[in-house]
Amino acid sequence: MELIEIKSLKVTFPTEAGLVRSVDCVDLQLGAREKLGLIGETGSGKSVLAHATLRLLQPDALCEGEILYQGRNLLDCTPTELRRLRGRELALIPQNPSRALNPLQTVGKQLFETLRQAGYSKKEAVAKMPELLRSVGAIDPDSWAKAYPHECSGGMCERIVIALSLAFSPSLLLADEPTKGLDSLNRARIITLLGEVTENRALLFITHDLEAAALLCTRLALMYAGELVELGDKAAVFENPLHPYTRGLLFALPARGMQPIPGRSPPLTALPDGCRFHSRCPEAIARCRSQHPPLFDTGNGHFCRCWLYV
């Protein structure tokens, strides 16, 4: 059985400018210990998808569809059930690690609180703290524990946030852009660290960084304007990208010529008819403008939302 199964998930936000369709009919499966990279530009709906999974969206957000975790629909859970699942089973590594820590408390205190939340007694929590910090790469855990978040560097914060999410030993980690804003050295270290800590658990790796995803994940999913546009094994996606958007992203990589995709993604309040990518697509045909493409199965678990693969 799959660990988590997202079935035609739709997330919309009512705003003054109209209904924002952040996530539109997304289907995804993630098996235990599977590592999936969710790739997309800012605003493509990947973070919303992660937050929806943990039911952390603001109250006015509307979720439709199903998110099954071990067969249980998270969208039907009561707040108490959710609280029991959060952290323990599904852990989030939030974006902006330095802002994801309470600025008024020391790292140690926050770690301690989290460990207590995870069910450790006070003594155990104190004893476990250095071990946990060491596991994310701290050489001097005591000085880390004494530091306040503003005294920590970006990489340090990322590690602390990872440590916080590991306090529970969850079965699924949702890492929301953990490599954002890090220099290449730290980025590499964090990727390594994530690889280490997720050896025995599933990872949903949300990023716009294709290379990082390639290093960590076995499967890749690409999102554009709220929908999945391509889904497949890492090798298949890299060797044989089907969707023009995926191809565009690959060409934008430094190693492949650094040619950015022209234009901008459409506003989520006013999505165009037809394919949402057609205005930026170099290969668009007449049909792309008028008809919205479904996700075509091209075999070998490789899916693509493009009229070129009818």
Partner 1 sequence: MVLEIGNRYILRRFFSGLLAFLLSITLTFFLLRSLPGDYMTDLLLEIGRYAPPELVASFKHEVGLDLPLPEQYLLYLTGILKGNWGHSFEYGLPVFSLIREKLYWTLVLLLPSSLLSAGLGMGFGAYSGWKNGSKTDAFLLHSLVFVGAVPSYCWGFAGLFIFSFRLGLLPFGGYVSLPGTEPAGLFRHALLPVLTLTLCSVPGIYYLMRNSMLDTLGEDYILAARARGFSESRILFQHALPNSILPVLTMTSLHCAHMLAGSVFIETIFAWPGLGLLTYSALETHDLPLLQGIFLVDTLLIIIANLTADLLYPLIDPRIRSRIRGE
Judged by beta carbon, residue 182 or residue 304, the one nearer partner 1 is 182
Rounded CA separation 29/50 (Å): 13
CB of 287 to partner 1, least distance (A): 41
Rounded CA separation 210/216 (Å): 10
CB of 281 to partner 1, least distance (A): 35
Confirm if 40 and 26 have CB atoms less than 8 A apart: no
CB of 61 to partner 1, least distance (A): 13
Binding site for partner 1 (CB under 8 A): 51, 54, 56, 59-60, 82-88, 91-92, 94-96, 99-106, 113-114, 117, 148, 150-151, 161, 164-165, 167-168
Quickly list H helices, 1-106.
46-53, 79-85
| H or E element in which residue 157 lies | helix 154-166
Judged by beta carbon, residue 59 or residue 262, the one nearer partner 1 is 59
Rounded CA separation 157/153 (Å): 6
CB of 91 to partner 1, least distance (A): 7
Residue holding tokens 């479904």? 294
Confirm if 34 and 202 have CB atoms less than 8 A apart: yes
Nearest in space to 197 (alpha carbons), one of 137, 129, 153? 137
CB of 42 to partner 1, least distance (A): 16
Rounded CA separation 35/213 (Å): 9
Is the C-alpha dihedral spanning 220, 231, 74, 11 positive or negative? positive
Is the C-alpha dihedral spanning 49, 50, 53, 55 positive or negative? negative
Judged by beta carbon, residue 107 or residue 215, the one nearer partner 1 is 107
Confirm if 10 and 65 have CB atoms less than 8 A apart: yes
Strand, helix or coil for residue 43: coil
CB of 110 to partner 1, least distance (A): 9
CB of 173 to partner 1, least distance (A): 11
Task: Say how many CA atoms lie within 13 Å of 296 toward its Cβ.
Answer: 12
CB of 211 to partner 1, least distance (A): 25
Judged by beta carbon, residue 54 or residue 74, the one nearer partner 1 is 54
Confirm if 220 and 272 have CB atoms less than 8 A apart: no
Judged by beta carbon, residue 133 or residue 225, the one nearer partner 1 is 133
Judged by beta carbon, residue 109 or residue 189, the one nearer partner 1 is 109
Judged by beta carbon, residue 106 or residue 279, the one nearer partner 1 is 106
Judged by beta carbon, residue 151 or residue 183, the one nearer partner 1 is 151
